Amino acid sequence: MTKLNLNALCAAMLCTIAGAASAASSTVPPATEDIGQAAIDYNISVVRDTQMQIEAQARAKAEAEAQQAAEAQKAREAAENKARVERAKADRVRAEQNRAAAKAKAEKAAKLEKYEDEARQLELELRRLDVEARRAEVESSVADHKASAELARDRAQLELEKKRVEIERLKAQPAAE
């Protein structure tokens, strides 16, 4: 029962007892009037004791509910803190993975650029050797130079092909390596 209902019940009982006492006092002889007053006092004390017990139980129940609510709040806060820590950890791991992927991508790009630079250098060398070979063809006295220039040109051509193959291989690799 709620406290309001208990108070209303007690008030109704007191009114009933008081009404009975006043009716009894008017019709009951004076000797029995003292016994009726004692019974009224006893009934009032019983009602008060009952009301105090009910109020004590209600307080105990309210305190228990408050304690349960506090424990539930602490558990919720602990869970939220744990979730926050887990999210922060996952964010750190993700950031580290992103940094590693970016580093690998930058390294691959640098390697690719290095090979492309070497390929351009080899192409320039090949052109220079072509010019030398033409000169050697024009000059009949430099037949030995032509052979060596041709050999150097072939070597440069092979080296260029190797670099092109390496460039294609690097371009074909996935970005995460």
Q: Which residue has the tokens 């791991």?
A: 93
Lowest-confidence pick of 61-70, 131-140, 158-167: 131-140
pTM for this entry: 0.41
Any domain includes 177: no
Determine contact, residues 167/115, Cβ cutoff 8 Å.
Answer: yes
* C-beta separation of 25 from 36 below 8 A: yes
CA atoms within 13 A on the CB side of 51: 18
How many Å apart are CA 43 and CA 109, to the nearest integer?
97
Query: By mean pLDDT, which of 11-20, 116-125, 143-152 is the weakest?
Result: 11-20
> What's the total number of domains in the chain?
1
Which residue range is the domain that position 79 belongs to? 3-172
pLDDT digits (tens, 9 = 90+) for 1-59: 566 666 666 666 666 665 555 544 545 455 545 567 888 889 999 999 999 999 999 99
Higher pLDDT, 119 or 147: 119
What is the per-residue pLDDT for 135? 76
Which of these ranges, 62-76, 114-128, 135-149, has the smallest mean pLDDT? 135-149
pLDDT of residue 24: 47
Averaged pLDDT, 59-88: 95
- In a domain? residue 114: yes
CB atoms within 10 A of CB 136: 19
Q: Lowest-confidence range among 37-51, 65-79, 100-114, 126-140?
A: 126-140
Query: What single-letter amino acid sits at 133?
Result: A
The span from the CA of 48 to the CA of 5, in Å, is: 14
The C-alpha atoms of residue 41 and residue 99 are separated, in whole angstroms, by 85
Q: What is the mean pLDDT of residues 132-151?
A: 73
Band the pLDDT of 89: cuts 50, 70, 90: very high
Residue 131 has pLDDT above 90, yes or no: no
126 pLDDT band, cuts 50/70/90, is confident
Is 30 inside any structural domain? yes
Examine residue 23 and state whether it is found in any structural domain, yes or no.
yes
C-beta atoms surrounding 7 within 10 Å: 13
